[in-house]
Amino acid sequence: MSNDDPQMNGAESLVKTLLESGLDTCFTNPGTSEMHFVAALDHVPGMRSILVLQEGVATGAADGYFRMAGKPACTLLHLGPGLANGLSNLHNAKKAGSGVVNIVGEHAVTHIELDAPLTSDIEGIAGPVSHWVHTSMSSTDVGADAAKAVHAANIAPGQVATLMLPSDTAWNEGGEVAAPIAPAARPPFDETRLDAALSALSGPDSLLLLGGAALGEKTLEVAGRIAAKTGCKLLCEWANARLERGAGRVAIDRVPYPIDQALETLKPFKRVVLVGARAPIGFFAYPEKPAILTAEGTEIINLCDTSQDITAALDALCTGKDATDTAPAQIAASVTPDKPSGPLEPGGIASVLGRTIPENAIVVDEAITTGRSFFPSTAGAPKHTWLNNCGGSIGYGMPVAIGAAVACPDRKVMALVGDGSAMYTPQALWTMAREELDVTVVIFANRVYKILRGELTNVGVTNAGPKAMDMLSLDRPTLQFVDLARSMGVEATQVTDCDALELAIETGLATKGPYLIEAVL
């Protein structure tokens, strides 16, 4: 696509090309080197630009946006340090298979050799969390480079693309708008493994382990037909980018996070077929415990990885097992848990969630230890979508909730977050308020890094003293989440029992805009 405006600069050609490529949302935390991009947002209509106060919020929001919109957003970050601040949630996005386009400002080409204070190896910083990295060296290249970045981000299941924009390439004239590059089709699954997979799925000692796009409503229904016909069990990975759940859908449990529970859960299976999932491994290494979670001698058939045609793989299994007319197994019935009472604890909280999750809600789960018991009590809630942290770097929950709310403004978003995790990206609350996003945030305040206290035992430490325990505590001083939220323009309340939590969640869901609940355990 040629340029009809000879006065267009590189930044304007960038914005126009992004829009032509279907990318219309940008989560920004700009600096001096990005000012021409900022100015272009006024000159070029169509881009929604959302300001965040910390780059990890921008990158996490872009992750959440892709998961729910099915297309990338971009981030606008300031030089190497700005990109570095966003790395943890780019790590999570990469592990989730989310498509993200990072636009990172760079010094003018002539300025880099002067080694100014903010000069850094931006490509080197971007590499470990990106699938595609490139620096535009001329204003005439920017449009074409942007189209390539969006194309890279859309490669299944979704990739992180990082484009560096030196400030002179942004301000120099001669920019050209590039035509979109057609998205690449998902490659086919490995049909040479289909017969082995069909043979393996027979009886309760066989497992169909699902992940990625296999966890949509329609694909889960196909998996349910296979399970009903063959008697195999269904499980999904512990952390999933997007899982469709609720009454009327095929209910699927996760491989547990705790190492001993995972080993016990997977022990019965002699044959495992993977569709969009990895072979189960431990989150960490533990003394005298296996890293591979399946029993010794288990046959594992990797039929389809997460980038391949998962729908076709499940359809082939279903057809091969003559299960296309079989009613799916494990359909969740509509169940409202009994009303819990008393102080907050994980079981009671799970029942409250099962009673309050509304139809078509999006639940962003960073509840850490508190959330391990949530699935059974919420399986029969109204239909909803559940998002997990796939990379394990905490501070993902509230930023991802921003992206989900921007992508789906007609759906209620619930962010379930541990107190330790919440303090990594609390600036997300300000953006929720500024954009009037419909997010109900529940902070589970146990005032300790409880997961780490458990890990202390898991790795064999039996003599932890007061200094060690002090490093895992959050009560000196006690965090005040209600005050923090209100200071950022978010209405908030604190609760200490199940009755009050249920009322607070109902209030939050009925409130237009963000609402925070500090649930003190």
Q: What is the CATH number of the domain that holds 374?
A: 3.40.50.970
What tokens does 209 get?
């382990």
What tokens does 21 get?
């490529």
Q: How many domains does the chain have?
A: 3
Which pTM does this prediction carry?
A: 0.95
Whether 356 is covered by a domain: the verdict is: yes
Helix (H) / strand (E) containing 346:
helix 346-356
For residue 158, give Cα distances in angstroms to 161, 185, 231, 234: 10, 12, 33, 25
Size of the chain in residues:
521
Whether 387 is covered by a domain: the verdict is: yes
Residues 221 and 152 both lie in one domain: no
Q: Quick count: other Cβ atoms within 10 Å of Cβ 9?
A: 23
Whether 492 is covered by a domain: the verdict is: yes
Residue 97 lies in domain: 10-171
CATH value at residue 283:
3.40.50.1220
Residues near 236 by Cβ (< 8 Å), separated by ≥ 6? 209, 210, 211, 214, 215, 243, 252, 253, 254, 255, 277
Q: Report the C-alpha gap between 145 and 395 in whole angstroms.
A: 31
Residue 250 confidence (pLDDT): 98
Which phi and psi (to 5°) does residue 14 adopt?
-65, -50
Residue 1 confidence (pLDDT): 43
Whether 4 is covered by a domain: the verdict is: no
CA atoms within 13 A on the CB side of 491: 16
- Among the candidates 140, 171, 202, a domain finishes at 171
Whether 3 is covered by a domain: the verdict is: no
Residues 161 and 217 both lie in one domain: no
> Could you tell me the strand order of the sheet in which 253-254 lies?
253-254, 233-236, 206-210, 271-275, 299-304
* Separation of CA 463 from chain center: 36
Amino acid of residue 30: P
Whether 181 is covered by a domain: the verdict is: no
Residues 400 and 504 both lie in one domain: yes
Residues 304 and 371 both lie in one domain: no
Residues 52 and 164 both lie in one domain: yes
pLDDT tens for the chain, residues 1 to 521: 444 555 899 999 999 999 999 999 999 999 888 888 899 988 899 999 999 999 999 999 999 999 999 999 999 999 999 999 999 999 999 999 999 999 999 988 888 888 888 889 999 999 999 999 999 999 999 999 999 999 999 999 999 999 999 999 999 999 999 999 999 999 999 999 999 999 999 999 999 999 999 999 999 999 999 999 999 999 999 999 999 999 999 999 999 999 999 999 999 999 999 999 999 999 888 888 999 999 999 999 999 999 999 999 999 999 999 999 999 999 999 999 999 999 999 999 999 999 999 999 999 999 988 888 899 999 999 999 999 999 999 999 999 999 999 999 999 999 999 999 999 999 999 999 999 999 999 999 987 766 666 676 677 777 778 777 777 777 889 999 999 999 999 999 999 999 999 999 999 999 999 999 999 99
Residues 216 and 309 both lie in one domain: yes
